[in-house]
């Protein structure tokens, strides 16, 4: 459990630490807002493409070695940012971190399903909460560390916890089978592409993750343009991610008693929609906005993965379905940070991006009604 949570803590700092210092990075490198958006879009896109390769990755490397190589790639990417602080270097490190995170995210859910049994939903909740906790810590520390040592060193420091996670994982997962036993997973994959339920899960996850990536990349610059200092905007993002963590913990605590996930999904989506409304209509209400967005995103992320696991009957099918949903979902979500950067370049405002997100969340409310208990792909 500790190895899984510590690994999860390392899956977002390379992205979350960027938002609070994004304007400084742009000024130092001369990048446009669209190019800066690519620093979040590229890793998210590669997370999606990597997830689609989960089955061959699991067969070739196994879960233990695949996750280990993913954590190593994250450490290398963070170190790369410290020694190659140019636009090209940042894009290269974004690609490496995307590959690393993709490997961990593609393999970990199947590992959890296989090793946790009936406790898999709760363990998945802790895993996703760990992901959000890592984002919270990175966002909170970004501006302070940048002030002390520069943004290059700030990014480079995140290599240390990734190495720690690698060492802990290699010890804790020692003795685990290289790959789950059973028939070849490749035979199951084509059916998912023709399965409407799988596409519904993919779309639901993609829109929800799009909200997360949009907030992660552009929430601090949005509030900096509304008069907050860089420190205040970074602390606002950190507070938002703390709310995400609390919401994720609440989901982990409640999920075993709620076999019907729809009421929890409806509450989370309503909170997210209200938070987006605050951004559009009353951006000066920073604290309510932070709480509503954080509670909504923090609950939707684990719930969307738990609902996906609910649709699988065994660990192998869980790994296949999770790879399909995360793969397509992350590809879909990767568009949002770049789109928002393009909007900001064109109009110096992000309102169109927030409005598009609100429409997506409204569509998710309609989708959530179809996630009845006992449904399978």
CA distance 336 to 17: 18
Confidence class for position 353, pLDDT limits 50, 70, 90: confident
Q: Is the pLDDT of residue 98 over 80?
A: yes
CATH placement of domain 191-376:
1.20.1250.20
148-193 tens-digit pLDDT: 989 899 999 999 999 999 999 998 877 665 444 443 334 344 478 8
Residue 320: pLDDT band by 50, 70, 90 thresholds?
Answer: confident
Lowest mean pLDDT among 40-54, 147-161, 337-351: 337-351
Per-residue confidence (pLDDT) for residue 162, from 0 to 100: 95
What is the model's pLDDT at position 315? 66
What are the pLDDT digits (tens) for 104-137?
988 887 788 788 777 777 888 788 888 888 988 8
More confident site: 291 or 306:
291
Q: What local confidence, expressed as pLDDT, does residue 193 receive?
A: 83
* Listed residue (101, 84, 121, 113) closest to 49, CA to CA: 101
Instruction: Mention every residue, 6+ apart, whose C-beta is less than 8 A from residue 101.
Output: 11, 14, 43, 46, 47, 50, 70, 74
Q: How far does Cα 227 stand from its chain's mean position?
A: 28
| DSSP class of 258 | -
Instruction: Note the CATH number of domain 1-174.
Output: 1.20.1250.20
Q: How far apart are alpha carbons 284 and 32 in whole angstroms?
A: 27
pLDDT in tens, 62-75: 888 989 999 999 99
pLDDT at 217: 77
pTM, whole model, 2 decimals?
Answer: 0.76
Whether residue 142 is predicted with pLDDT greater than 50 in this model: the reply is: yes
pLDDT tens-digit series, residues 258-298: 788 899 999 999 999 999 999 889 888 999 999 999 999 98
Distance from C-alpha of 154 to C-alpha of 82, rounded to nearest angstrom: 8
Average pLDDT, the chain: 84
Topology agreement, domain 1-174 and domain 191-376: yes
Which one, of 232, 335, 339, 246, lies nearest residue 287 by Cα? Answer: 232
> Structural domain boundaries of the chain?
1-174, 191-376
Q: Which residue has the higher pLDDT, 164 or 142?
A: 164
**Residues constituting the chain:** 377
Average pLDDT over residues 7-11: 94
List C-alpha distances in Å: 277 to 91, 106, 283, 336.
33, 33, 9, 18
């Amino acid at each position: 459990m500790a190895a899984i949570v510590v690994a999860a803590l390392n899956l977002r700092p390379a992205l979350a630490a960027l938002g609070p210092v994004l304007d400084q990075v742009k000024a130092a490198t001369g990048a446009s807002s669209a190019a800066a958006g690519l620093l979040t879009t590229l890793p998210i896109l590669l997370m999606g493409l990597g997830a689609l390769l989960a089955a061959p990755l699991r067969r070739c490397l196994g879960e233990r070695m695949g996750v280990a190589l993913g954590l190593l790639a994250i450490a290398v990417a963070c170190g790369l940012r410290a020694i190659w602080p140019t636009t090209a270097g940042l894009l290269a490190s974004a690609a490496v971190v995307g590959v690393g995170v993709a490997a961990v995210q593609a393999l970990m859910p199947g590992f959890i399903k296989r090793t946790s049994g009936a406790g898999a939903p709760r363990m998945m909740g802790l895993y996703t909460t760990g992901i959000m906790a890592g984002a919270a810590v990175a966002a909170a520390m970004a501006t302070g560390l940048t002030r002390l040592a520069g943004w290059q060193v700030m990014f480079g420091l995140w290599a240390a916890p990734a190495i720690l996670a690698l060492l802990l994982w290699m010890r804790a997962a020692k003795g685990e089978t290289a790959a789950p036993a059973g028939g070849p997973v490749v035979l199951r994959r084509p059916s998912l592409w023709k399965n409407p339920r799988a596409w519904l899960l993919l779309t639901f996850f993609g829109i929800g993750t799009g909200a997360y990536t949009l907030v992660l990349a552009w929430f601090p610059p949005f509030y900096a343009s509304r008069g907050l200092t860089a420190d205040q905007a970074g602390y606002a993002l950190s507070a938002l991610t703390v709310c995400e963590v609390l919401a994720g913990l609440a989901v982990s605590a409640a999920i075993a008693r709620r076999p019907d996930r729809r009421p929890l999904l409806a509450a989370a989506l309503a909170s997210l929609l209200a938070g987006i409304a605050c951004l559009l209509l009353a951006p000066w209400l920073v604290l309510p906005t932070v709480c509503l967005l954080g509670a909504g995103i923090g609950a939707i992320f684990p719930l969307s993965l738990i609902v996906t696991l609910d649709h699988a009957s065994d660990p192998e099918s869980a790994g296949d379905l999770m790879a399909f949903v995360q793969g397509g979902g992350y590809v879909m979500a990767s568009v949002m940070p770049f789109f928002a950067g393009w909007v900001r370049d064109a109009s110096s405002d992000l309102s169109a991006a927030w409005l598009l997100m609100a429409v997506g969340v409204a569509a998710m409310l309609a989708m959530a009604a179809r996630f009845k208990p006992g449904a399978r792909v």
